[in-house]
Amino acid sequence: MLGFDIENVKKVMNELLMKDTFDELLFFEGNLKSLFEFRFDGRKNELFEERLKASNSLTAEEQNNLLLMEGEELVCWGMARPKIFELIKGKCTPQSFSFVLMLNRKVKQQLADKNDFKAFASKGNNYCLNFRFEKNVLKVTTATSLESFTMDKNFDKIWDGYVNEKYSNVLTTC
């Protein structure tokens, strides 16, 4: 497990909410406390997804996000991000929030192949990037949730290595 104490909260929030930095990840769940509390469930609504596809008014970014979600049970962060940004933006910082993002199946399989470790891509294994903001402090941590108990730390090493490779420039230089 990796942990990042973010010094430049504004910069990371910009990467999280206004840029596509984390868009390939899936949105598992979240909550946001401001005047009242919002709770988010990242499971996608298949009927609404079909309506979106049929609307012919999608941007190129939205079309790409729909492709990222193919075969997934969750929406990708890129689809949730603009909606959550609308709730957060304004003059008052939220009291707190937490967002749990997860690795998608395609990248899980790529990492399993790259590391010659087939068990990494098992459907029941999940790899999370957790964003938690409370008392004006932003913390980002990695986590793994495996379908069965194991003492094998390769799951964590592969996931943490990927996060370091892909996101450390955003999470550590801030």
Terminal CA-CA length for the chain: 19
How high is the pLDDT of residue 107?
94
Instruction: Report the candidate in 135, 146, 22, 142 with the shortest Cα–Cα distance to residue 85.
Output: 22
State the Cα–Cα distance between residues 1 and 20, nearest whole angstrom: 24
State the Cα–Cα distance between residues 117 and 112, nearest whole angstrom: 5
> DSSP label at 36?
S
Statement: residue 89 has pLDDT above 50 = yes
Mean pLDDT along residues 22-35: 95
Q: How confident is the model at residue 62 (pLDDT cuts 50, 70, 90)?
A: confident
Q: Read off the pLDDT of residues 106-136 as tens digits, 9 standing for 90 and up.
A: 999 999 999 999 999 998 899 999 999 999 9
Range scoring the smallest mean pLDDT among 62-66, 87-91, 114-118: 62-66
What count of Cα atoms within 13 Å lies in the side-chain half-sphere of residue 142?
20
Mean pLDDT along residues 22-38: 95
Instruction: Give the pairing of strands 37-41 and 126-134.
Output: unpaired
> DSSP label at 120?
G
How high is the pLDDT of residue 174?
41
Cβ atoms of residues 75 and 69 within 8 Å:
yes
Mean pLDDT along residues 26-49: 92
Strand partners of residue 66: none
